[in-house]
Structure 1
Amino acid sequence: MLLSSTLLIGGVVLLIAIIPYFIFFVGIHRGEKERAAQEPKKYPAISIIMAAYNEAAVIRERIFNIKESEYPVDKYEIILVDDCSSDETLRKAEDACRQAGIRHTILKNPERMGTNRSINRAIEAASHPVLVTTDADVFFEKHALKRLIARLISEEGIAAVCGDLRPLPDELTHTSQLEKTYRDYYGRMCEWESAVDSTYNFNGGLVAFKKNLVHRIDDRRGADDANTAFEAIRRGYRAFYEIDAVVYEDIPETFSGQYKQKIRRATRLIEATVANLDLLKNKRPFSRLFYPLRIMMYLLTPLLFFISCIFLLTGLFLINPLLPIGAIVAFVFISLIWKSNLITAFSTNQAYLLAGLLNLGQDMRVWESTSKKQ
């Protein structure tokens, strides 16, 4: 009786935990799809904003990566906010912008301010009506900026757009393969949300928004990317995930390095999620379907998932004490041999989300670089 009850509880709890993922799975394969945005006859002038801390090893390459994009160089400026770097980030950024022939403004914070406050400072200094925020250690595909801006200006109802963040294509480490599997599913989830209404699951690697609609982002708590999307949604506009605007990031090689990166991101995303609960009262698909699913996904699923694992392993133990050990060994073996399997990617990210929940209340606005180039 105890055995059957334990296994039944574990199975039921697991099924409840994965409900939002099942709904997204159906939506990805059966739901509405958005057509590709048409290329405009004329691209608007944009201000590209970067907040950087100790990125001297990559900042020159980053500046020239922007220069090599297909967006007309006379149509953008770069505003870089140096968040009190202790290396030569500021000098190298200045030299690279001059050599690349890019109009630029370099701001240096008087103290560590973090991404959100640095971006708000740059917004005030921006000259153009369309703003693009990006990280100092990611790299655009050549078409990324054009496709991002084409989507943003494709309709008046879109106030903010996010690009699709992926690991560098030539990275074959265990952490990058797991992240690639997770990101592929994540991007398609956001794509479906965007086709129906909006998503707030933005990536900080590449975000664009209309300055007259999003004046600033919440710099008290939460992620700058999610807060940008929430600001657009709060004003009654759409926040769109453009999966064809690809930006690449350097994934930490070790799990300890990735842990620091993922926990910071998870904590700030969860903070943004719980800070905007009043939007649930709005009468739109985002508030009635997608936001509740995301709340469950980030606040309940991680806890329920690990509770179900405890019950299922306990049930196996009651059958034979060696069975839970065998199950764990099998999971580890599969994870090591099949680096890109969805089960391992899902389980790992549940652990990151649970750790993010446990880190709520800590100030995660000020960051340390996790790039392996450091």
Structure 2
Amino acid sequence: MYVSLIPLIICLSCLGCITYVFLRYGRYLARMKEIEFEVDIDSSYEPSISIIIPTYNEELVIEDKLKNTLSLSHPSHKLQIIVIDSASSDRTAEIAKSFSSVEVIRQDKRLGKAIALSEAFDHVTGEVVVITDADSALKKDVLRKALPYLADPNVGAITGRQILVDPASRTEQSYRNIFDMLRFAESKMASTPIFNGPFMAFKREVLEPPPPDSIADDTEMAMKVIRRGYRALYVQDAVFYEHAPSTRRSQIKQKERRAQGIVQTFWRNRDMLYNKKYGVFGTTIFPAEFMMHVISPFLLLTSLFTFLVSLALGPLLTLVVLAILALVTLPLAFRIYAEIQSHVEEKKSDFGGFMLTFLSFVQLQFTILMSAIKLMIFGTQHKWEQISETRVEFKI
């Protein structure tokens, strides 16, 4: 019976490592969220801007997107709008061309978003380059909220806060609130490696195209900015809106694509781990994010396998030990979760919400795991594919 203790110890060690990193880092960042932003903000900073909108078969949303972009609070004579169309087979380019102030670049072949962005970069004239997705809507004041941070000579790029407009996506939004808290706190410490593709702004002089095989072009570009010694920040007042996928299949597809992209980018930049050249980002932020997105999914798989082995060798002992540990650790974990949640939302945390968040993170870990395995076996598989149910009118 005691033979089962060996795999059980391995199982608990893996779970303990994952739990420790997630809760400790989350708690640390939740507290960091309350400190002052050490950025030289200049509200009068009003540079010329080039806005790039990559498209592929976006005829359902491109007109509203361009109207939304043209309505942004920024002098029109300082605004360049570029639609880079990746060989759409519908009326996307035709609709975009009907806007006289919009430049349309058509690619003959569908080569992927990274290559499309690279081509668009050759046409920008603005001091700041904004990249935004066709299926998102930007809040009217998003530029006024974001640009002051780019006035700081040490800041190279910023991203904004996503708000899901679908009533059915409250659970997802709760998870996103914690995700955004992490990005905000990391930005206050130094930089965040994870950007939101629907709204990103870069100083033109630090802008570098993502690798052609890039899946998460947003995170790739943020990492390039950090490599060059600039800060990449999350600005919570720079708001954009998106629809969440309405079907379970599309939700999984979206998360898998995103997870695979982050794993690819983090692995590509693993030389930055514990690298003092990058300051707090290299010694604290990136190692923690690398652990959560690359290492912990494999630890979770190891813990599951060793648990099953332990259960087969000594079911009674395994279940008793796990039950005792659960009784001891769950209240502590909930208390830390409640502390983190108090920095994210004003409402009081409940145990049901804690369990839903826990299950969401477990699901995310397995999604990352499967994405990493597919990436290792098959390489880059995700083309620039849209999720059709998010191509609907915004009512905001």
Does TM, scored on the shorter chain, surpass 0.5? yes
**Is 1:193–2:190 an aligned residue pair?**
no
Structure 2 counterparts to residues 335-374 of structure 1, below 5 A: 341-360=356-375, 361-364=378-381, 366-373=383-390
SS at match of 1:24: helix
SS at match of 1:185: helix
Equivalent-residue separation in structure 2 for 1:19 and 1:320 (angstroms): 24
Contact 2:196 2:218 in 1 (8 A): yes
Contact 1:144 1:247 in 2 (8 A): yes
Structure 2: state its 5+ residue gaps.
323-351, 392-396
2:107 to 99, 106, 109: 109
Over residues 103-138 of structure 1, what are the superposed CA-to-partner deviations in whole Å (9 max), with x where a residue is unaligned? Answer: 221011111121111111111101111100111111
Structure 2 counterparts to residues 118-197 of structure 1, below 5 A: 118-153=116-151, 155-168=152-165, 171-173=166-168, 176-197=169-190
Amino acid at match of 1:352: T
Contact 2:160 2:240 in 1 (8 A): yes
Amino acid at match of 1:344: L
SS at match of 1:198: coil
Contact 1:177 1:339 in 2 (8 A): no
Residues 1:21 and 1:321: Cα distance change in structure 2 (over 3 Å): closer
Contact 2:195 2:222 in 1 (8 A): yes
Equivalent-residue separation in structure 1 for 2:300 and 2:65 (angstroms): 39
TM-score (norm 2): 0.81
Equivalent-residue separation in structure 2 for 1:116 and 1:45 (angstroms): 24
User: Over aligned residue pairs, what C-alpha RMSD do you find?
Assistant: 2.8
Partner of 1:288: 283
Partner of 1:76: 79
Contact 1:132 1:206 in 2 (8 A): yes
The offset of 1:21, in angstroms, is 1.5
Contact 2:44 2:148 in 1 (8 A): no
TM-score (norm 1): 0.85
* Percent identity over paired residues: 29
Equivalent-residue separation in structure 1 for 2:367 and 2:6 (angstroms): 29
1:299 to 272, 282, 294: 294
Structure 2 counterparts to residues 144-293 of structure 1, below 5 A: 144-153=142-151, 155-168=152-165, 171-173=166-168, 176-280=169-273, 281-283=275-277, 284-293=279-288
Equivalent-residue separation in structure 2 for 1:373 and 1:180 (angstroms): 15
Equivalent-residue separation in structure 1 for 2:216 and 2:124 (angstroms): 21
Structure 1: state its 5+ residue gaps.
325-336
The offset of 1:345, in angstroms, is 1.6
Amino acid at match of 1:195: K
Partner of 1:333: none
Contact 2:96 2:102 in 1 (8 A): no
Query: How many residue pairs were aligned?
Result: 353
SS at match of 2:379: coil
Residues 1:74 and 1:179: Cα distance change in structure 2 (over 3 Å): farther
The offset of 1:22, in angstroms, is 1.9
The more displaced of 30-39 and 354-363 is 30-39
Residues 1:221 and 1:319: Cα distance change in structure 2 (over 3 Å): same
Amino acid at match of 1:56: E
Structure 2 counterparts to residues 12-23 of structure 1, below 5 A: 12-23=13-24
SS at match of 2:383: coil
Contact 1:14 1:305 in 2 (8 A): yes
The more displaced of 127-136 and 352-361 is 352-361
Equivalent-residue separation in structure 2 for 1:231 and 1:132 (angstroms): 16
1:45 to 43, 48, 51: 48
Amino acid at match of 1:306: L
SS at match of 1:135: coil
Residues 1:320 and 1:89: Cα distance change in structure 2 (over 3 Å): farther
